[in-house]
A and B are shown apart, each in its own frame.
Chain A
Amino acid sequence: MTALLEITNLRARIGDKEILKGLSLTIQQGEIHAIMGPNGSGKSTLANVLMGNPNYVVTGGDIRYKGESLLEMGPDERARKGLFLAFQYPVAIPGVTLVNFMRQALNAVRGQEVPIREFRETLFSKMDLLKVDQDFARRYVNDGFSGGEKKRAEMLQMAMLEPSMAVLDETDSGLDIDALRTVAEGVNTLMNPNMGLLLITHYQRLLNYIKPQFVHVLIEGRIVKSGGPELAEQLEATGYDELEAQLATA
């Protein structure tokens, strides 16, 4: 069976600095993976490279999605193929309402005009799911949003676009415990057997609410250790320093 997402020996740099140094990871449909790592380990670089941020240059390896290499595709084409990135720091688009933005995004991803009535019904039901107020849709995209509102807006987009592979970059940061629970419940509802999910996180906290089957530790641009959910708990107990020390002596 072809993997949903297959990253092999991926190398990438931003400017002159190489950040990813041969990263490999395979995700099948129905799987939830978590990548954990300390600051500067390359977590956000991985998220950006997966989505095709032009500021990052891939210098080696490959990313295949449903058997097809993504490297030559722009971010828009990747999105239309079914890839989604929930940003750690979503940017504001002043003057553009969330509802207008969502409509254009949905039309683009579906490759056809979604009838306005259907769009509205879908939007309102997804907003209910994520417990966001309907007024939210009339605000300008991320403009003056609190940290929690930004993350909810990202989840709302994911709910609307129904990707088959979603990457959540530090979705737990900036959320209080109630917001975290709501967002996580939303993600769990959206997850389905045809979909893959990659959680990128510094802390184990999010993993109390969204349960991955696979946990990977990213240090200095490589996955240094993989395991089950117990690995996350172990990391929470010991911290990254101890693991790094172990690896150094190994």
Chain B
Amino acid sequence: MTTAPESIVSEYKYGFYDPEEALFKSNKGLTAEIVEMISKMKDEPQWMLEFRLKAFETFKQKQNPPWATEQLDDIDFDDIHYFVRATDRDERSWDDVPEYIRRTFDKLGIPEAEKKYLAGVGAQYDSEVVYHNIREDLEKLGVQFLGTDQALKEHEDIFKEHFGTVVPPGDNRFAALNSAVWSGGSFIYVPKGVKVDIPLQAYFRINTQNMGQFERTLIIADEGSQVHYVEGCTAPIYRSDSLHSAVVEIIVKKGARVRYTTIQNWSNNVYNLVTKRAVAYQDAVMEWVDGNLGSKLTMKYPSVYLMEPGAHGEILSLAFAGEGQHQDAGGKIVHAAPNTTSTIISKSLSKDGGRTSYRGLLKVYDGCEGVKANVRCDALLLDQTSRSDTYPTMEIDESDVSIQHEAYVSKLGEDQLFYLMSRGMSEEAAAKMIVNGFVEPIVKELPMEYAVELNRLIELQMDGAVG
């Protein structure tokens, strides 16, 4: 018998939940048997089962990252459902998606957005992808956009060639965990020279209480191609915690361009521990636009490895921590070839005792002359009780480089508030305006619909922030 989940009343508008109607839910806790069962239920090839079991052994041996706070010790790995199957089909028409799930995505505005401004949409509900579709003309050009499980079945060769090469299971404890129990996520392949002009979007929804969502995304942009992938996510508000631990691997081949935008809006009972990494080859461009507004604790540092000359990496990170939240975000750039360039811009906001940390790595290998790198992190504290820290690491082993690094922490300026209020704006409107201006360098990079959405989420976070 399932009991109704305990939900908490809150301002968070996505905190609703559906009754749990899962087809299958694994027992709590993680064993080799559960790993085997996941692989079996998905009807996977033997090599994938072996990959999972090996990763599970690695997970058992790994510790939490040394910089993690004690908060991470609160995760009870035995109290989590590692696999929850809502439906056994990944549909291409919303009409075929079970009605209660479709209603949820309707409430989140996904089918509507798909019609208006997206080239394709994927929707994951608990452990698996329930809907995936792409514009017909793109499909004809050979663009693949489908659930990762399905991709393993349909494109095993290219899948096997790239899977786990960018983020190996041993990379960190949560990458190992994901590798053992991964389920769902997006697979994208863009053929040579094909430019996908409007975004593809995936939406991740957790519904089941005490569950772990472990999607795995693999994007391969072939030579000279271009794609913009956007992901969003929300979850119900429960009294108990959920775990979201994804791995994203991206391969940007010669002259290709990938932008990966995240608007993370998990409810405040979700641990969000994600490993995202891209490799960029000659003259390729990789951009991460990483917005973190939700979750209880996020630890996420999107990375770009610049492997060949002319490659460019860019990370725009935006974090907003409210009461009870810790956003440990940032980015990593590794210059592994000469004449590569990179920019990291991080903007963080904290209020009501929330905590933001910028954690970054800039690495330049010996012999990589002509590297240009620019790091800028700004933190804005909206009150006295909030906290912001900066942990920038630089490992520069080459002298013929140009590196700039700036970091600023500021408090919501009294003189700015007074100035705006002297023009008739209320204190709250003035604070919102200052905050909107602060995040503008990131927001202006987003397509209009997402910029509007992000501004709206920030304003929701700001409500009642002052006075």
Known: A93-B437, A140-B437. A108 touches B418 (CB 8 A): no
A93 engages B424 (CB within 8 Å): no
Q: How far apart are A65's CB and chain B's nearest CB, in angstroms?
A: 14
- The answer, among B421, B424, B439, for a CB contact under 8 Å with A95, is B439
Nearest to B442 among chain A residues (CB) is: A95
Q: How far apart are B446's CB and chain A's nearest CB, in angstroms?
A: 14
Contacts of A114 in B (CB 8 A): none
CA distance A113 to B1 in the complex (A): 55
Decide yes or no whether A246 CB sits under 8 A from chain B.
no
B421 engages A93 (CB within 8 Å): no
B439 engages A75 (CB within 8 Å): no
Q: Report the stretch among B138-146, B152-160, B425-433 that lies at the interface.
A: B425-433
CA distance A67 to B419 in the complex (A): 25
Quick one: which of B418, B433, B434 has the most chain A CB within 10 A? Answer: B418
B437 engages A96 (CB within 8 Å): yes
Contacts of A53 in B (CB 8 A): 418
Contacts of B436 in A (CB 8 A): 95-96
Known: A95-B441, A96-B433. A104 touches B425 (CB 8 A): yes
- The answer, among B421, B434, B441, for a CB contact under 8 Å with A74, is B421
Contacts of A239 in B (CB 8 A): none
Decide yes or no whether B98 CB sits under 8 A from chain A.
no
Decide yes or no whether B415 CB sits under 8 A from chain A.
yes
A105 engages B416 (CB within 8 Å): no
Decide yes or no whether A91 CB sits under 8 A from chain B.
yes
A105 engages B437 (CB within 8 Å): no
Within 8 A of A (CB), among B358-406: none
- The answer, among A84, A91, A108, for a CB contact under 8 Å with B429, is A108
Q: How many A-B residue pairs lie within 8 Å, measured between CB atoms?
A: 77
Interface bits A31-70 vs B (CB < 8 Å: 1, else 0): 0000000000000000000011111000000000000000
Contacts of B113 in A (CB 8 A): none
A161 engages B419 (CB within 8 Å): no
Contacts of B430 in A (CB 8 A): 76
CA distance A79 to B434 in the complex (A): 19
Known: A55-B414, A93-B437, A140-B437. A105 touches B421 (CB 8 A): no
Contacts of A78 in B (CB 8 A): 422
By a beta-carbon cutoff of 8 Å, the part of chain B in contact with chain A is 413-416, 418-427, 429-430, 433-434, 436-441
Other A-B pairs, 18, CB within 8 Å; known A93-B437, A108-B426: A74-B427, A75-B418, A75-B422, A76-B427, A76-B430, A79-B422, A79-B423, A87-B422, A91-B413, A93-B419, A95-B441, A96-B436, A104-B433, A108-B424, A108-B425, A108-B429, A161-B423, A161-B424
Q: List 24 A-B contacts (CB under 8 A).
A: A51-B418, A75-B418, A75-B421, A75-B422, A76-B426, A79-B421, A80-B424, A87-B419, A91-B413, A93-B420, A95-B438, A95-B439, A95-B440, A96-B433, A96-B434, A96-B440, A101-B420, A101-B423, A101-B433, A105-B423, A108-B424, A108-B429, A157-B423, A161-B424
